[in-house]
Structure 1
Amino acid sequence: MRRYLPLIATLLVIAVNAAANIVPINGFNTGELSALNPTGFTPAGWVFGIWSLIYLGLIVFGVASIVGSERIRARADGLVNVYLLNALANAAWIFAWHYRQVELSFALMLVILATLSIIFVKLRRQPAPTAREFLAIDGPFSLYFGWITTATLANLGAVFFVRQYYPFSLSMDQWALITVCAATAIYVWMGAVTRDIVYCAVFVWAAFGIAYRPTGITEPVKLAAWAGIAALALCIVWAAFSARRDPRRFSSEPL
């Protein structure tokens, strides 16, 4: 039964997210609530389409946990407990966000981020993945972790907006500029330490959405987003070339 739990949890989270926009929960869809809680760096709406790719990856993870090879199932088994907590926090976040409990939603977002951090570390401590293991497990979680890193910063910005308080008496736009610069530093550092191209690519995607959003974002923030794109592009190129010399990047064992 245990190996079925990741797929069940993923499908339940997808159902809650779908209900949030179809019903919708508390009369708002998720995008409308983002508009009600501006951050000064929330990317264009099309950027959030990344959730479709994240959920597809998590479905693959869930299916692989059931029917994957013995090695894939063993790799997934060590993640089950943490992933179930992650899925619970993800579903709870939807309700907190839709009922406009922004501070609670941020606390839940921290749980999501923490569980993904644990999963990321657990995977790094395991033997190097084969290509199939990367596609079924490591890749989807790198994508998910990369996006939640950005989402956590956005959620924090929403908390400050709701409370009408920003550190050091900064304005929303000043805080947005600092956040984009800090996010760039976080992703570059992660790229330098882990050489995780998927994780870094998520910020490039989000930063494009910031740079191309027609309204609600100042020119300095857009310029910071472009600078972040350039920095992460260089980091990704470096990671791609250095990964060739990294014996841990992919296992040489057969697929």
Structure 2
Amino acid sequence: MTVLSPGPTRTDLVRNVVVALLAVAQVLVAAVAGDTVGTVAREYPSPLLAAGWAFAAWVPIYVGFVGYAVFQALPAQRARQAHRTTGWWMAASAVFNMGWVLSFGAGWLPLAQLMLIGLLVSITLVFGRYCRMPAESVVERVVARGPVALYAGWVCMATPMGTAATGVWIGLPGTGALAAIAAVVVLLAVTATVSWAVLSGTAVVPFAIAVMWALVGTALNDPPEAVVVAGAIALVVVLAATARRISTAGFPVRAAWG
């Protein structure tokens, strides 16, 4: 039986407006920051640093966030329980994103890492809650579930990248055998985590695409051979987990797209 939510409340309207404003604000912050994040990242290279072109993933992420912001503010969407349980966390993710961009671009890597962890927690929490609630329409899959899954997958990989850069910032080696071994261990651990998320989640296609995009970007950025091999293994594992999740799901479309 479907449980109908009461009509929009003042809290709903405030949440709608806050999410919409923050969606625009984070795009503006990213535009003003330009390539400062990439410039700083290249100053603290590690075997987990993805190639510059891989960071183009932020373009569909930001576009998707704006689409989500418009969607959740529509009159028919404002009072839905799905938005009530995720909207403020989406707002938090935008705040953490802006904090990360500004602090990383300024070279304050420890603070940026804290912002990135906050972003990871908030966006994966939204992703997890969406996994427990089926989408009501194709439009919702395209403008809400898909962008959130893509965002979550990318941040799951961006967090260890940021951690590696922060490690170099504090004086840990970014090259050599020790750095390569650490990178392989981190890659395998992250692969296990994201594969679990794929096997138990929904909208796993965009989530897995973001993860694999980051893995390819890392493997093609001239890391040590051991990291390339670990990345190739990770690609196969994530792809296999995605295929298994969809093929064994009772509702394959929901498993794939939310």
Quick one: distance in 1 between partners of 2:182 and 2:147?
30
- Aligned residue number for residue 208 of structure 1: 216
Residue by residue over 1:124-164, the C-alpha shift from the partner in whole angstroms, topping out at 9 and shown as x without a partner, is: 33344432221121111111111111111111111211112
Residue in 1 that maps onto 2:21: 8
Q: Distance in 2 between matches of 1:246 and 1:79?
A: 23
Call closer, same or farther: CA 1:176–1:130 in 2, change over 3 Å. Answer: same
Question: Take 1:71 and 1:125, find their aligned partners in 2: how far apart are those partners?
Answer: 19
Matched, 1:246 2:254: no
Correspondence for 1:33 = 40
The answer (yes or no) to whether the contact 2:48–2:160 under 8 Å persists in 1 is no
Residue 5 (structure 1) shift: 2.3
Question: 1:58 and 1:72 mapped to 2: Cα distance?
Answer: 19
Residue pair 1:142, 1:199 contacting (<8 A) in 2 also: yes
Indicate yes or no: 2:241 matched with 1:223.
Answer: no
Number of matched pairs = 239
> How many angstroms does 1:212 deviate by?
2.0
Contact map agreement 1:161 1:172 (CA 8 A) in 2? no
Asked if structure 2 preserves the Cα contact closer than 8 Å seen for 1:129 and 1:138, the reply is no
The separation in 1 between residues aligned to 2:61 and 2:81, in whole angstroms, is 22
SS in 1 for 2:172: coil
Task: Say whether 1:79 aligns with 2:92.
Answer: no
What is the Cα deviation at residue 247 of structure 1? 8.0
* TM-score using structure 2 length: 0.84
User: How far off is 1:113 after superposition?
Assistant: 0.9
Partner residue in 1 for 2:74: 67
Match of 1:46 in 2: 53
Q: Check the 8 A contact 1:65/1:77 in 2, yes or no.
A: no
Could you say which residue in structure 2 is the equivalent of 1:179? Answer: 186
Q: Distance in 1 between matches of 2:85 and 2:147?
A: 16
Percent sequence identity over aligned pairs: 21
Give the counterpart letter for 1:17 in structure 2: A
TM-score by length of 1: 0.85
Match status 1:193 vs 2:200: yes
Query: Quick check: 2:68–2:143 contact (8 Å CA) kept in 1?
Result: yes
Q: CA deviation at 1:248?
A: 9.0
* Alignment partners' CA distance in 2, 1:34 and 1:70: 39
State the secondary structure of the residue aligned to 2:73.
helix
- Where structure 1 has 5 or more consecutive residues not aligned to the other structure, the ranges are 22-27, 251-255
Tell me what 1:142 maps to.
Answer: 149
Return closer, same or farther for 1:225/1:65 CA change in 2, 3 Å cut-off.
same
Distance 1:220 1:186 in 2: 20
Distance 2:124 2:208 in 1: 15
Q: Does 1:237 align with 2:243?
A: yes
> Contact 2:128/2:201 (CA < 8 Å) preserved in 1?
no
Unmatched runs of 5 consecutive residues or more in structure 2: 1-12
2:123·2:152 contact (CA, 8 Å) conserved in 1?
yes
| Contact 1:61-1:136 within 8 A present in 2 as well | yes
User: For residues 239 and 90 of structure 2, what CA distance do their matches in structure 1 show?
Assistant: 30
SS in 2 for 1:184: helix
Instruction: Please state how far the C-alpha of 1:72 moved relative to its aligned partner.
Output: 8.6
Q: Given the alignment of the two structures, is residue 57 of structure 1 paired with residue 57 of structure 2, yes or no?
A: no
CA–CA distance in structure 2, aligned partners of residues 211 and 109 of structure 1: 22
TM superposition shift of 1:81: 1.6
Aligned mates of 2:144, 2:167 — CA distance in 1: 35
